[in-house]
Structure 1
C-alpha cells in the first residue's frame, strides 16, 4: 500500500504560466502534463473550445518532492487563498474510502468520492479546519 501527501496548486487559466515559472525559479522538472483537451470527453458536460489548452493535471519534480499543478475545470470557481490543496495518493481503494470518510466528518464534501477516467476513487473534501484534501487512488497496473 502506498500513501503520499502532495501539495496541489489549482489555478484559473494560468497553470501553464505557473509551471513555466516553477521550472525556472525552482528548477522543477515536468514529469507529466495533460490538457483538458487531451482528456476523454464527457458528453453531459461539453468542454468549451477556449478551455481545451487549460492544464487538467501536471506533476512536477522539485528536488525530491512532487508538486501538482492544474487549472480548475471550466465553469468552476476557486476563491483566492484556496488554490493550494493537499492531494493524498493511495494505491488502495478501501484506504481511499476510509480517508475520505474520516476527513469529511464535521467538514464539507466538494466532490463525492467516485470513479473517474483517471482514478478508481477520487474525491475532494474540506475538513473541519477548512483544509482542502483531494483523495486520489492510483490505478492498479
Structure 2
C-alpha cells in the first residue's frame, strides 16, 4: 500500500494569514487551494457568505515536504496550540477505511466518523491512544 504523510495545520483564526506567513517566512509555495466558495452549493448550506473566502483545504510545499493547511470550517474538535495533526492520504477509499477501522479497533477515538463527502470518497478523523490526531483521507480523483 502506498500513501502520503503530511502534517495538517487546522487554524482556528485565519488560515489565509497563516498561508501568507509561511510563504513569506519559509518561502513555501501553495500548490493547491480550495476555498469554501468552491464547494458545491449543497455543501455551503448553513455557512455565512462572510466565510466563503476561508480556506477549506490547501497544500503548501514547505521545505522538502508538503503540509496541509485549512480554516476550521467544520467545527472539528481542536484546541489551539495542539491543532497540528498528521494527514495520511491513501489512493483508494478501501485503503483509507481499512486503516480507519484498524485504528478504531486498536483504541483510537473517533473525532469525525468515516464517510465520503464532496471533497473525497472517504475521510475519517481519529485520535490515537497517545493523543496524536490523524486525518485519514482518500486522494481526490481528477
Normalization by structure 2: what TM-score? 0.89
Deviating more after overlay: 12-21 vs 96-105? 96-105
2:77–2:111 contact (8 Å) kept in structure 1: no
* Secondary structure of 1:4's aligned partner: strand
Match of 1:107 in 2: 108
In structure 2, the CA distance between the partners of 1:76 and 1:42, relative to structure 1 (3 Å rule), is farther
* Secondary structure of 1:133's aligned partner: strand
How far 1:140 sits from its partner (Å)?
4.1
Match of 1:29 in 2: 29
Normalization by structure 1: what TM-score? 0.90
How far 1:101 sits from its partner (Å)?
1.2
Match of 2:70 in 1: 70
How far 1:55 sits from its partner (Å)?
0.6
Unaligned 5+ segments in structure 2 are none
Deviating more after overlay: 92-101 vs 34-43? 34-43
Identify, as 1 or 2, the structure richer in helix. 2
Q: 1:56 and 1:83 mapped to 2: Cα distance? A: 15
CA RMSD of aligned residues (A): 1.9
Q: State whether structure 2 residue 138 is matched by structure 1 residue 134.
A: no
Match of 1:79 in 2: 79
Matched residue count? 141
Match of 1:125 in 2: 126
